[in-house]
């Protein structure tokens, strides 16, 4: 049974990858416009932190190459979740608020499989992943990193844990659209905007109250800062490497529980999209 699910998952990923490829390459001008604009926008989003690190030769205990590593890591996490959950899967409140969940529920497959595959867009997402890889390579070269297999394994675990935290945070807030579809339609966008604006900064030196909030109510610290502290040897203990995966598990369980409760409510009330007073074009 598990093997069959994996084969179906891979088949669907292959299908959506092909559709993304055909969509992006249907016109050369369109491809270059999308690719270059996404690359420029994502590099511009981290330029402020980079310029601060350049001006002051680092930020706090972080050297300039370490800050660049942090920026590349955060961009990599953002590119990963956008690659896996594009087409408004990541911004789940849009689907819920617009009544588009009905289109997913009528499909002859589990909801989790649809959400895990419908947004797979490896060609579109590469516009973020490539500059992220470039920043990480430059930072690693400047830092003289010579990582072995174990370091790369920890790196992959931390990246996926960070991506899970960001995705769970979006689903956690986005589930409010089950109860308030119109008011909360863009709440996932606002939640992820907060994460994207704060993730490029080292949080060392923040007060305990602010630090606690940035690792709980707004878990932006787990998206880049905390795992990078561990990977770059800035964490005081080797056990810090388990914190981000544990946080990912907690937020994933909380988001799953909230989404399931909202879905039960949705099963009783349905969507107002197709009613005369609630239609959305």
Element (H, E) at 272: none
Residues 243, 247: Cα–Cα separation, whole Å: 6
Q: Is the Cα torsion angle 207, 210, 212, 214 positive or negative in sign?
A: negative
> What was the pLDDT predicted at 276?
54
Contacts of residue 34, Cβ cutoff 8 Å, sequence gap at least 6:
24, 124, 127
Question: How would you write the pLDDT of the chain (281 residues) with one tens digit per residue?
Answer: 778 888 999 999 999 999 999 988 888 888 888 888 888 888 887 788 878 777 887 888 899 999 999 999 999 999 999 999 988 899 999 999 888 888 888 888 899 999 999 999 998 888 888 889 999 999 999 999 888 999 999 999 999 999 999 999 999 999 999 999 988 999 999 999 999 988 988 988 788 899 899 999 999 999 999 999 999 988 877 788 899 999 999 999 999 999 999 999 998 887 766 555 544 54
Cα–Cα dist 230/251, whole Å? 20
Cα 29 to chain centroid, rounded: 28
pLDDT at 279: 47
CA angle 246, 255, 249 (to 5 degrees): 15
This prediction has a pTM of 0.91
Cβ-contact 77, 227 below 8 angstroms: no
At 124 the pLDDT is 86
Tokens of 89: 């899967």
The total number of residues written for the chain in this structure? 281
Task: Find the distance separating the first CA and the last CA of the chain, reported in whole Å.
Answer: 40
């Amino acid at each position: 049974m598990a093997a069959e699910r994996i084969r179906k998952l891979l088949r669907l990923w292959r299908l959506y990858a092909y559709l993304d490829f055909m969509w992006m390459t249907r016109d050369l001008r369109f491809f270059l416009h999308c690719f270059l604009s996404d690359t420029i926008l994502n590099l511009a989003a981290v330029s402020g932190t980079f310029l601060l690190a350049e001006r002051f030769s680092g930020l706090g205990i972080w050297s300039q190459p370490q800050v660049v590593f942090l920026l590349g890591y955060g961009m990599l996490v953002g590119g990963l979740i956008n690659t896996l959950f594009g087409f408004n899967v990541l911004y789940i409140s849009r689907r819920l608020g617009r009544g588009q969940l009905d289109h997913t529920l009528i499909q002859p497959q589990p909801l989790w499989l649809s959400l895990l595959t419908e947004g797979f867009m490896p060609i579109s997402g590469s516009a973020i992943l490539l500059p992220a890889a470039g920043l990480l390579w430059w930072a690693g070269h400047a830092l003289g990193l010579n990582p072995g297999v174990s370091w790369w394994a920890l790196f992959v675990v931390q990246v996926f844990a960070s991506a899970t935290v960001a995705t769970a945070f979006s689903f956690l807030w986005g589930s409010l659209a089950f109860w308030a579809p119109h008011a909360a339609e863009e709440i996932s966008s606002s939640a992820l905007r907060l994460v994207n604006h704060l993730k490029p900064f080292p949080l060392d030196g923040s007060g305990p109250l602010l630090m606690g909030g940035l690792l709980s109510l707004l878990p932006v610290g787990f998206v880049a800062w905390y795992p990078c502290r561990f990977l770059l040897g800035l964490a005081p203990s080797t056990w810090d490497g388990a914190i981000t995966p544990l946080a990912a598990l907690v937020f994933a369980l909380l988001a799953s529980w909230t989404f399931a409760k909202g879905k039960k409510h949705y099963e009783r009330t349905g969507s107002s999209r197709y009613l005369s007073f609630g239609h959305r074009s």
